[in-house]
Structure 1
Amino acid sequence: MTNKKRELTLRFLAEPSDVNFGGKVHGGAVMKWIDLAAYACSAAWSGKYCITAYAGGIRFVAPILVGHLVEVTAKIVYTGRTSMHVAIDVQASDPKLQENRLTTHCIVIMVAVDEHGKPSSVPEWVPSTPEDIALRESAIRLMNMRQEIGEEMEAHVQYLK
């Protein structure tokens, strides 16, 4: 077990440059914030440069408005030999009211790499609480489902050729 920090939260205000044509924060801006938080979390855990291997299951639950205080929380929920599965929750609120609500959530898989860009080993994360055990088990189930979806997508692509 490592003493490395497995969770972090980025906090900032949504800016006018983040807005889409509908007046809400653009989904692409939210995805960028998710990637930044996943990188910071995985780099802190592994002590290495990390790259995004997968971002999926992104659910946009509620809009974010300009001026909202945004909190992007990233938490390691599973580690492989070189990869880290990072659960991301995005919450936002009017800073005057401070009533956070979930706006987006997803899983991002980050891979640690060495100075030559080759995958590099990461410290194992071992869950110790019932909640953490459930998160790890969920990450494993999702990993298995992604494998099945990947195989189906490969078969689908063969029909398009």
Structure 2
Amino acid sequence: MSTPRHTVTLRFLAEPSDVNFGGKVHGGAVMKWIDQAGFTCAANWSGQYCVTVYVGGIRFYKPISIGDLVEIDAAIIYTGNTSMHISIHVHAGNPRQTEKVKTTHCIMVFAAIDEQGQTVPVPKWNPVTEQEINMEKYAHRLMDLRKDIEDEMKAYL
């Protein structure tokens, strides 16, 4: 069974080079993995090169240990004309066990661009399942919140 174009899962082991001074995986390494999964999902959906426009609400729930199997699930939850909102969930755990725990979540927005760096249209995402419909609603709520945050920040730019 092949994975739908609107989702991507990356799996790998957390390596010693990913460690921070506290002995766990560095948050910056997790953010890099999140960006890679988001890019892969956006490029797969759009068929274009994509750039990160926004990363929001990144929440670290649990640390990741060196040697853990890391699974990063990325899924399209909303598309605009040239942008794609992607939900990212990171799970990790001992590779000898089936149970994985959620370690991180965030929403990313990517834009598809052409060879000249100009944005280009992306295929429309049409949610089907109840979960997909709820995630699209979640994306709309977050867009409204981002507008409020941007308005608040204008005075400080």
Using the size of structure 2 for normalisation, the TM-score is 0.96
Deviations 1:24-54 (A, max 9, x none): 0000000000000000000000000000000
Q: Kindly indicate whether residue 83 of structure 2 is the aligned counterpart of residue 83 of structure 1.
A: yes
What is the SS of the residue equivalent to 2:117?
Answer: coil
1:79-158 equivalence runs, <5 A: 79-155=79-155, 157=156
Aligned pairs for 1:50-61 within 5 A: 50-61=50-61
Corresponding pairs, count: 154
Identical positions, percent? 56
**Alignment partners' CA distance in 2, 1:148 and 1:73:** 28
SS at match of 1:71: strand
Give how far 1:131 is off: 1.1
Deviation at 1:98, TM superposition (A): 2.2
Q: Report runs of 4+ in structure 1 exceeding 2 Å deviation.
A: none
Residue number in structure 1 paired with 2:70: 70
Gaps of 5+ in 1: none
SS of equivalent to 2:105: strand
Q: What is the match of residue 38 of structure 1? A: 38
Cα distance, 1:58 vs. partner? 0.3
| Structure 1 length-normalised TM | 0.94
What is the CA–CA distance in structure 1 between the aligned matches of 2:128 and 2:99, rounded to whole Å? 30
Instruction: Give, in angstroms, the shift of residue 81 of structure 1.
Output: 0.2
